[in-house]
A = this chain, B = another copy of it.
Amino acid sequence: MKNLFSMKDLTTEEIYKLLKTAESFAKGECWTPEEQTFAVNLFFEPSTRTKTSFEMAERKLGIEVIPFEAGASSILKGETMEDTLRTLESIGVDLAVIRHKQDAFYEDLAGKFNMRIINGGDGCGQHPTQSLLDLLTIKQEFGKFEGLKVTIVGDLSHSRVARSNTEALTTLGAEVYYSGPPEWFEGDAANSEYYVDIDEAISFSDVLMLLRIQHERHDSTMDHSAEHYHERYGLTVERENKMKPSGIIMHPGPVNRGVEIADSLVDSGKSRIFKQMENGVYARMAVLKHLLEK
């Protein structure tokens, strides 16, 4: 494994191996590269949690993180991303995490670098480490994926989380359903066996995976007010009461309280939202270890 661009790059065996390593980090196990190792986090889109989570994972492994302000970089002077990466590689950087708004930005980069590259989120495409932390959270809870019913609720067409998770969960044997505004479902919601109304989803789902309403991605097409969305598609307190006793709530964050989920449920007993954030560090440590170890 040299890079991690997409969940599609990983075999089922590799996914299980990464989850096992992540679980060992969650239990406090340590690992450090043999030589001084340098990473850079190139975030061309703002993000608190993913960037900070990678930074924590890197520091916990004793990796040196070289700061890189995307806004002040030579890319402003017209340099291509490939030349920026080649510069960083020449300078001695061993690993780059890249978030970029362009879908599949990584396609041009494969095979060109000795430096390891991790996709930290591309446009409306993939977000593989988010997917791994979600899988880790589900595995910790249920011990397996086979036969689990997972419903992803919300802004499906713009979500790299939905995309990455659908592929991985299906491969691992879970059944994935979708809910939310039917116009955000890719395909014919009315006739799809995978599109379900939120009230139906509540009744059978082991995992409710709520997505963030990304106001910043589709202001023009946003025809749902926050209140209307919450009432019609969101996880209200009433709906939460009807969930399976063993069911859990997930959300990649940042949460729009009172929109995707009622304010009081963010911290509730069924919520694994902050557990997901904690797991993000372990999942990323696992990816870093697998990419860097000899």
Q: When the two chains form their complex, are residues A66 and B73 in contact, meaning their CB atoms are under 8 A apart?
A: no
Q: With the chains together, A67 CA to B52 CA distance in Å?
A: 8
Q: What sequence of 0s and 1s flags, for each residue 25-54 of chain A, a beta carbon within 8 Å of any chain B beta carbon?
A: 000000000001010100100111100110
A255 CB–B CB distance under 8 Å: yes
Q: Which residue on B lies nearest to A256, using beta carbons? A: B78
Q: Please measure, in the bound complex, the distance between the C-alpha atom of A90 and the C-alpha atom of B53, giving whole angstroms.
A: 10
Whether the pair A46, B74 counts as a contact (CB closer than 8 A) is yes
Tell me, yes or no, whether A173 is within 8 Å of chain B by CB: no
Q: Is the CB of A86 within 8 A of B274?
A: yes
Interface centre among A66, A79, A90 (most CB of B within 10 A): A90
Q: Mark A64-92, 1 if CB is under 8 A from B, else 0.
A: 10111101111111111001101110111
Q: Within the complex, which residue of B46, B73, B254 is in contact with A46, where a contact is CB–CB below 8 Å?
A: B73
Say which one of A13-21, A197-205, A277-285 lies at the interface with B: A277-285
- Verify if A2 is at the interface (C-beta below 8 Å from B): no
Contact A78/B38 with A67-B67, A277-B90, A278-B90 known, Cβ cut-off 8 Å: no
Q: How many copies does the complex hold?
A: 3
Report the interface size for chain A: residues with CB under 8 A from the other chain.
52
Say yes or no: B49 contacts A87, CB within 8 Å: yes
Q: Is A147 an interface residue (CB 8 A)?
A: no
Interface string of A207-229 (1 = CB under 8 A from B): 00000000110000000000000
When the two chains form their complex, are residues B56 and A92 in contact, meaning their CB atoms are under 8 A apart? yes
Q: How many whole Å from A217's CB to the nearest CB in chain B?
A: 11
Q: What is the CA–CA distance of A75 and B52 in the complex, to the nearest angstrom?
A: 14
**Closest chain B residue, CB of each to CB of A36:** B60
Across the interface, A48 reaches (CB within 8 A) one of B49, B87, B253, namely: B87
> What are 23 A-B pairs at a CB distance below 8 A?
A36-B59, A36-B60, A38-B56, A40-B52, A46-B73, A46-B77, A48-B75, A52-B66, A52-B88, A52-B91, A55-B67, A59-B64, A59-B66, A74-B253, A74-B254, A79-B255, A80-B257, A83-B254, A86-B274, A87-B274, A90-B277, A91-B278, A92-B278
Extra 7 A-B pairs, beta carbons < 8 Å, given A48-B87, A78-B215, A90-B278: A40-B52, A48-B73, A56-B66, A79-B254, A83-B253, A83-B255, A92-B278
